[in-house]
Amino acid sequence: MNGLLPAASAQVIPPPMKQAPAAPKAAVAPPAPTKAQDSARSENLVSDTKVLRRIDSLRRANTSRLEQIQAELLTLKSGTADKRRERELVTELGALRRVDSLRKARSRRYIDSLKVNAQGFPVAPYDDTLFYVYTRLGPFSPQERAQLTEEKIKRLEKSAFFSPDSLRIYPSEQSTDLMYGEQVLQSISENDALWHNVSRDSLARRHRARIVEAVAQYKEHNSLLNKAREIGLTLLVLVVLYFTVKYIFVLFRWIGTKLAAKEGTWFKGIKLGNYEFFNEQRQLSSVLLLLTVLKWVVVLLAIYLVLPIVFSIFPGTQDIADTLLGYIFNPLRRIALAFWNYLPNLFTIIVIVAVFRYVLKAIYSIKEEIREGNLTIEGFYPDWANPTYQIVRVLVWAFALVVIFPYLPGSDSPVFQGVSVFLGFLFTFGSGGSLSNIVAGLVLTYMRAYKIGDRVKIGDVTGDIVEKTLLVTRIRTPKNEEITIPNSLVMSSYTTNYSTACPTLGLIMHTGVTIGYDVPWPQVHQLLLAAAVTDDVLTDPAPFVLQTSLDDWYVAYELNFYTRAAGKQAGIYSRIHQNIQDRFNEAGVEIMSPHYRAVRDGSQTTIPASYLPKDYEAPKFRVENSEDK
């Protein structure tokens, strides 16, 4: 029958080599605790060991009684049958087995509790932990035992004729000793064996094998032949590095020469519009500078990758090699792992973007049909198609961003969320005026107050609409002045559109003159209508004249005429005014507008000389003597 402790705890406490703490090899041993901590810890270990030994003592007594019962049962079966005694022994056997099962469970739970708080002191003579010491022995604490054993093992390396056969195991009543010659390397007590769940002899053999292997490896690594081999490998690596760096320089010099020869063919400069951002020489110089930077990056990377190779040759510097390689490969491994884990989200984003792109293509095709007039929707004008599509596109992409946001890398991080809130805060409080202009632009679009190319008057600005955006409206005046008006100002002022009715009703243009009461009004009407004959003036509907007022010294006449060229108002007005002057001068009618004073006796007429008769003479002043009257 198996013993209690080995069966109960073999699956709980693993071998010491697997309990090494997660720390670099160069720092395996934990910092030495204070004496108070050592005393308390040692006291706990002694107490725990006593409990384990008491449990083991009970197990041995129980096992001895089980053996006696089994032997007596065999005797009863082979001799005269005593059924009553046999039943008593079977009952007692069952009770002992139940007690043994309960004791196994109790021992397992107790060892599990010890494992949580247990701290072993490593024996690591060559920066590699061989085993741990958990219990004290006589006056020596576990830490002191570990340090003494480590120092004694290090002395073995100085023995020129070290022989593994000289490391022997000597069992005694209280302990099992590991001895090399006359020197005791370690004494293994019953408490050590109980802690590791093995017998003293088994634990001693395990420790001996590890010590022999560690010393042999150390002496092999530090032999003269091995040192010569390591130095030779180092020199070989350095020679390879020298030639590698040399040919890297040669390669990049060759590439630079080939690039310089391509000036004017590969390098033709870079232009942004009409501005030459890079000419040929500057473009070539920039490429050569980048080539130089790349060259030194490659050289430094080659040197950096060679250093771990050199450090890995020597056993004492292998940790440095692992650290240097870790600086490069650990970030690359984390990046690759993060990218691999992100691939499902990336595919999801690609599918979402593809779906929304096809949705926008369908909306775009509907927009084009409406704009071209192939699709008619009651109450929806064709000129609304483009701005409505722009609005819908923004809304669709905004919704797509909301759907994609949870799949973006780092979207659930507090930093990403904080930046999003900060950007939203800036957008909300920093774009108040812009938002008002955007809203005004949307309202103006669907008000259809004007469209591109219309001649309008907004406030005191008259000109043609050249651009409409959600923020501003741009007008080009007849003097080719381009004026930008925020949409919020357009909404807050009045707008006069001269082009809306031109294609159908025509635009009525008008100009006024004032003529004295001495000229009959039918003559004035005839002269004004005769002047309303020029290009871009419609004959149907025909021009007409209105007498707008009868003032103190003159009558105000207004000539009205139709045109479909709203954008040519300045030229039309100029030609009409020229015609009015010509017609009135030819008829000998003076335009006294708005006020004109003249002494008719002896005054030259205001009609130009080219319209007067050749024999015209200005009248003389009449002077009369009052006495003659």
CATH number of 431-499: 2.30.30.60
Stretch 564-581: mean pLDDT? 91
Provide φ and ψ at 165, rounded to 5°.
-70, -20
Instruction: Tell me the two tokens of residue 244.
Output: 């590698």
pLDDT in tens, 90-137: 787 777 777 777 766 666 566 566 656 667 788 888 777 888 887 777
The closest of 153, 136, 308 to 216, measured between CA atoms, is 153
Residue 72 has pLDDT above 90, yes or no: no
CA distance 512 to 73: 144
Ramachandran category for residue 269: left, alpha or beta (phi over 0 → left; psi -120 to 50 → alpha): left
**What are the residue ranges of helices labelled H in 175-317?**
190-196, 200-221, 224-261, 280-313
C-alpha–C-alpha distance, residues 483 and 475, integer Å:
5
Whole-number mean pLDDT of the chain?
A: 77
Distance (Å, whole) CA 203 – CA 130 = 12
**pLDDT for 562:** 94
Query: Which comes out higher in pLDDT, residue 481 or 157?
Result: 481
Contact, 353 vs 408, CB < 8 A? no
| Most trustworthy range by pLDDT among 126-140, 322-336, 491-505, 609-623 | 491-505
Percent of the chain with pLDDT over 90: 17
- The larger pLDDT score, comparing residue 421 to residue 29, is at 421
- Confirm if 603 and 582 have CB atoms less than 8 A apart: no
pLDDT recorded at residue 9: 31
DSSP 54: H
Give the N- to C-terminal CA distance of the chain in Å, as an integer. 174
Secondary structure class of 183 (helix, strand, coil): strand
Tens-digit pLDDT profile for residues 503-526: 888 999 999 999 888 888 999 999
Residue 178: what pLDDT? Answer: 85
Cis peptide before 594, with omega less than 30 degrees from 0?
yes
DSSP structure string for 579-620 = HHHHHHHHTT-----S-----STTPPPSS-GGGS-TT--PPP
Here the contacts of 619-625 (C-beta below 8 Å, separation 24 or greater) are: none
Least confident among 266-270, 518-522, 538-542: 266-270
| CATH of 501-594 among 3.40.50.1980, 3.90.1150.10, 3.30.70.100, 3.30.930.10 | 3.30.70.100
Residue 536, SS3 per DSSP: coil
Residues 6+ apart with CB under 8 A from 334: none
Euclidean distance between CA atoms 601 and 622, whole angstroms = 7
Q: For position 262, what pLDDT does the model report? A: 77
Domain ranges of the chain: 60-71+84-117, 118-222, 226-315, 317-412, 431-499, 501-594
Q: What is the pLDDT of residues 424-480, one digit of tens each?
A: 666 665 555 666 777 777 777 777 788 888 899 988 899 999 988 878 889 999 899
What pLDDT, on a 0 to 100 scale, did the predictor assign at position 214? Answer: 82
Structure token digits, residue 565: 């060229």
3/198 Cα distance (integer angstroms): 11
Determine if residue 116 is left, alpha or beta; phi over 0 gives left, psi from -120 to 50 gives alpha, anything else beta.
alpha
DSSP assignment letter at 11? T
Residues sharing a CB contact under 8 Å with residue 348, sequence separation 6 or more, in sequence order: 407
